[in-house]
Amino acid sequence: MSDCSAVEVICAKRDGRALTPAEIAWFIEGYTAGAIPDEQASALLMAIYFREMQSDELATWTQAMIDSGERLDLSGLDRPTVDKHSTGGVGDKVSLVLAPLLAACGAAVPQLSGRGLGHTGGTLDKLEAIAGWRAALSNAEILSQLADVGAVICAAGAGLAPADRRIYALRDVTGTVPSIPLIASSIMSKKIAEGTGALALDVKVGSGAFMKTHAAARMLAEAMVSLGEAHGVRTAALLTRMDTVLGLTAGNALEVRESVETLAGGGPADLVEVTLALAREMVELAGLDADPAEVLATGAAMDSWRAMIAAQGGDPDADLPQARVVETINAPADGALGHLDALAVGIAAWRLGAGRARKEDPVSPTAGVVCRAAEGDAVRAGEPLLELHTDDESLLPGALAALEGGFEIVAEAGPKKPLVLDRVTAGGRA
């Protein structure tokens, strides 16, 4: 379509009209090819941010993003394929446990992942804390690892949904990231293009998540589930709590260590609970007959983890790097940890070096925060509450400032809050 006018498309969306399939295809193709400039794309994204999209319009937009690149063909594998995607949180290392666990349950897990930005960590950044581990794989390597090991976590190649790569980078600098249609199309275009047959979504809700309210998270989950199903990907979503850290660590090597503890049968109860809830969804979506809790207990998931890491050049037995400096924050009073804010911990970990401000920045494998208590735990005045890990002492003041007001000691712990808040499945499926 060469006869669309960018200004007319922007004005149409600004005034609340749904874009036509021709306008959408013209925009996505033109922006991906560099024919539409950033300022006009920014204006359209901002108009979408305010005016949103109708469901047909969103489906067409997502299809155009998928069509901007290749779609992997995993149909030759002899196991059902199933993946999981999280909308991002603090301490969210679930993927590291879930991919090998599902492989041990009999699935092939093609987890094509991204890097962290801002206060949320990225799965690839975490795994790169392991000596020798390699994120970049060719399509042939992905396929052979899925056949041999049953799980791969690697970087999504440049060929998958290239429109999203450009649009996401622009959203990041134009204040248009937290938009339900833009998040839904971004996530689902990549997951559909990756070729998985089924997908479980972990839609995080709370201070540490993009979606701060249950209602917004549910709308996002519903949009993604219907996009997946419309493209033949069996999709279900859990809404899970992200107003406090998941597990007890936020930071790359720190989270790998905690994941390995979980694969070994230990690990914090909240991490185990969210992982198993998602694993059960994945087993069901993939049509497998396995109990993930039993499989975890046998140690088979740990065997799959070791094989997955080794297949990508990593040494599963290598010591993980440790920070040079550890600063401790002690509990200011006796009582219980009433609240530990996810966003405060995420920003502290980020400022210590665990995350990046711009996508080309390096991350520190060792930096992060260790929580010595979780919400609800009893604490005693003067005993360690949080540890700040970094290789650069000059980063400590910024992290300490982020944590000011980020936790509360109360006389008595309140009732335990549920972790899994809601479930969204396609109409007609239980």
Give the interface with ligand URA as residue ranges (CB under 6 A). Answer: 87-88, 114, 168, 177, 182-183, 186-187
Rounded-to-integer distance, Cα 374 and Cα 261, Å? 17
CB of residue 164 to ligand URA, shortest distance in Å: 7
| Cβ distance to ligand URA smaller for residue 203 or 311 | 203
CB of residue 327 to ligand URA, shortest distance in Å: 31
| Cβ distance to ligand URA smaller for residue 68 or 304 | 68
CB of residue 297 to ligand URA, shortest distance in Å: 32
The two most distant CA atoms of the chain are separated, in Å, by 70
Sign of CA dihedral 51, 179, 38, 64: negative
Find the residue with minimal CB distance to ligand URA: 186
Q: Is 186 a catalytic residue?
A: yes
Rounded-to-integer distance, Cα 142 and Cα 157, Å? 11
| Cβ distance to ligand URA smaller for residue 104 or 363 | 363
Determine how β-strand 368-371 pairs with β-strand 378-379.
unpaired
Q: Is 351 a catalytic residue?
A: no
| Cβ distance to ligand URA smaller for residue 87 or 304 | 87
- Residue 243 pairs in a beta bridge with none
* Residue that the structure tokens 């041999």 belong to: 148
CB of residue 241 to ligand URA, shortest distance in Å: 18
Catalytic, out of 164, 202, 243, 270:
164
Q: Which letter, b or e, does each residue of 275-286 get, where b requires 16 or more Cβ atoms within 10 Å of its Cβ?
A: bbbbbbbbbbbb
Rounded-to-integer distance, Cα 17 and Cα 47, Å? 10
CB of residue 88 to ligand URA, shortest distance in Å: 6
| Cβ distance to ligand URA smaller for residue 69 or 114 | 114
Catalytic, out of 119, 126, 171, 241:
171
Q: Is 164 a catalytic residue?
A: yes
Catalytic, out of 95, 186, 189, 207:
186
Rounded-to-integer distance, Cα 12 and Cα 14, Å? 6
CA distances from 234 to 125, 156, 227 (A): 28, 21, 10
Which residues participate in catalysis according to the annotation?
A: 85, 164, 171, 186, 190
